[in-house]
């Protein structure tokens, strides 16, 4: 996810690193800070995911192609006014990639909405 600790070209969809850490701990997710690891390691981590939770924008569009056939679900969190607008304007979004169903979820910057049903079902 795009946090205030990441290197960001825009402020769209940026959330607090503290909120991100709480969210990841709550759902037992591993946080990948793209700028802190090399690209090959990032690809290997994404390729090994069974569930890939990612924020809308470059994080999703650039990286979902590294998903393997073992991934069953991609959850794309849409955060921020501009990204919500982009989501609504986008035509023909994929709902499946390889063996993974793609779920799009608009969520607020506090990430305080319960998404356990998305992760566990």
In a domain, 115, yes or no: yes
Residues 68 and 108 sit within 8 Å (Cβ to Cβ): no
Tens digits of per-residue pLDDT, 65-89?
999 999 999 999 999 999 999 999 9
Spatial neighbors of 85 by CB under 8 A, at least 6 apart, are none
Q: What is the rounded average pLDDT of the residues 24-44? A: 88
What is the count of structural domains for the chain? 1
In a domain, 6, yes or no: no
pLDDT at 117: 95
In a domain, 1, yes or no: no
Q: What is the rounded average pLDDT of the residues 30-48? A: 88
In a domain, 23, yes or no: yes
Q: Which domain holds residue 21?
A: 17-120
pTM of this structure:
0.92
- Mean pLDDT of all residues belonging to the chain: 90
pLDDT at 8: 56
């Amino acid at each position: 996810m795009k946090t205030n600790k990441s290197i960001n070209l825009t402020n769209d969809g940026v959330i607090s690193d503290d909120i991100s850490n709480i969210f990841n701990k709550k759902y037992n997710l591993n946080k990948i800070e793209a700028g802190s690891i090399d690209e090959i390691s990032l690809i290997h981590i994404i390729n090994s995911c069974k569930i890939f939770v990612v924020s809308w924008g470059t994080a999703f569009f650039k990286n979902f192609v590294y998903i393997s056939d073992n991934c069953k679900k991609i959850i794309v969190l849409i955060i921020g006014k501009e990204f919500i607008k982009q989501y609504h304007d986008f035509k023909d979004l994929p709902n499946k990639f390889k063996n993974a169903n793609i779920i799009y979820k608009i969520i607020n910057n506090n990430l305080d909405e319960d998404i356990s049903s998305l992760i566990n079902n």
